[in-house]
């Protein structure tokens, strides 16, 4: 790996390769995030990545890559199954004006997230300990400019979890692997749930020979009230 670069320099150079500039005071927040993630990972399973370089590239820079697709900065963002805060918290550090809602089903991870946002002095963040399909019945339905999700489920299942939160004219960005093979089998779900794929952007993670696909989906019609179905059904009977 790139051990000749200190973490701050690696993050700065990697972001530039993605066309992103990170101010020095924001890089300091990323370094705090890095240390807290490693510290808490000794107690609870937050990431399988061990080295600073892997975390910086495969978590932080990978998360920041979502901003490449934005036409304008979203006002309200929701992160479905955020885990240790990816991809939303790196984006929040980069663009503090975004109002973020993070949904995570595992309580231990939400405890970490609550600690982290205090440590980083981040504002306008809500952390919700719940399953995404349960929260979608409440006032959050169709109220966000942008939904994000990384490594949660196959696309046809993810659409049922996430698209319901997106307002008409808003977007969902799904982060997937190199080939995005799931698009074809997600066509029925897109039609039912009101989504339309407008772009699939292929990127290379800086410094690594690893490829990603960013799938940009626009909300073109309202999601029927029957969706999402109750817990467990989307996985058992995908649309």
Is 103 within 8 Å of 79 (Cβ atoms)?
yes
Question: Could you give the percent of the chain with pLDDT greater than 90?
Answer: 65
Q: How is residue 184 written in tokens?
A: 């074809």
- Domains in the chain, please, with CATH? 7-236 (3.40.50.150)
What pLDDT sits at residue 2?
59
Q: What is the pLDDT of residues 206-239, one digit of tens each?
A: 888 788 889 999 999 999 988 888 887 888 887 8
pLDDT at residue 159, rounded to an integer: 93
> For 155-169, what is each residue's pLDDT tens digit?
998 999 899 999 999
Q: Quote the pLDDT of residue 37.
A: 95
- pLDDT of 193 above 70: yes
Q: What is the mean pLDDT of residues 75-102?
A: 95
Confidence of residue 19 (pLDDT cuts 50, 70, 90): very high
Please report the pLDDT score of residue 118 as a whole number: 96
Residue-averaged pLDDT of the chain: 90
| List of E strands, the chain | 76-80, 99-104, 125-129, 144-150, 166-176, 195-204, 211-219
Give Cα separations from 169 to 143, 146, 196 (angstroms).
11, 10, 10
In this prediction, residue 173 carries a pLDDT of: 94
pLDDT of res. 137:
65
Task: Give the rounded percent of residues in the chain with a pLDDT score beyond 70.
Answer: 96
pLDDT above 60 (res 1)? no
Give the separation between CA 24 and CA 22, rounded to whole angstroms.
Answer: 6
pLDDT at residue 180, rounded to an integer? 65
Rounded to an integer, the average pLDDT of 39-58 is 90
Does position 3 have pLDDT exceeding 70, yes or no?
no
CB contact set of 25 (below 8 Å; sequence gap of 6+): none
Average pLDDT over residues 24-43: 95
């Amino acid at each position: 790996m790139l051990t000749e670069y200190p973490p701050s320099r690696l993050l700065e150079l990697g972001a530039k390769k993605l066309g992103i500039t990170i101010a020095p005071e924001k890089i300091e927040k990323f370094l705090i995030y890095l240390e807290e993630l490693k510290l808490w990972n000794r107690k609870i399973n937050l990431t399988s990545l061990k080295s600073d370089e892997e975390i910086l590239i495969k978590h932080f820079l990978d998360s920041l890559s979502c901003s490449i697709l934005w036409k304008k900065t979203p006002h309200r963002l929701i992160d479905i199954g955020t885990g240790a805060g990816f991809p939303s918290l790196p984006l929040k550090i980069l663009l503090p004006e975004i109002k973020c809602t993070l949904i995570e089903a595992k309580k231990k991870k939400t405890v970490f997230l609550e600690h982290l946002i205090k440590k980083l002095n981040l504002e306008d963040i809500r952390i919700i300990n719940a399953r995404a399909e349960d929260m979608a019945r409440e006032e959050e339905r169709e109220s966000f400019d942008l939904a994000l999700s990384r490594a949660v489920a196959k696309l046809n299942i993810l659409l049922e979890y996430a698209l319901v939160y997106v307002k008409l004219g808003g977007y969902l960005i799904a982060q997937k692997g190199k080939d995005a093979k799931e698009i074809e089998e997600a066509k029925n779900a897109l039609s039912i749930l009101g989504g339309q794929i407008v772009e699939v952007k292929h990127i290379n993670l800086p410094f690594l020979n690893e490829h990603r696909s960013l799938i940009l989906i626009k909300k073109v019609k309202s999601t029927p009230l029957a969706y999402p179905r109750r817990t467990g059904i989307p996985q058992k009977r995908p649309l």
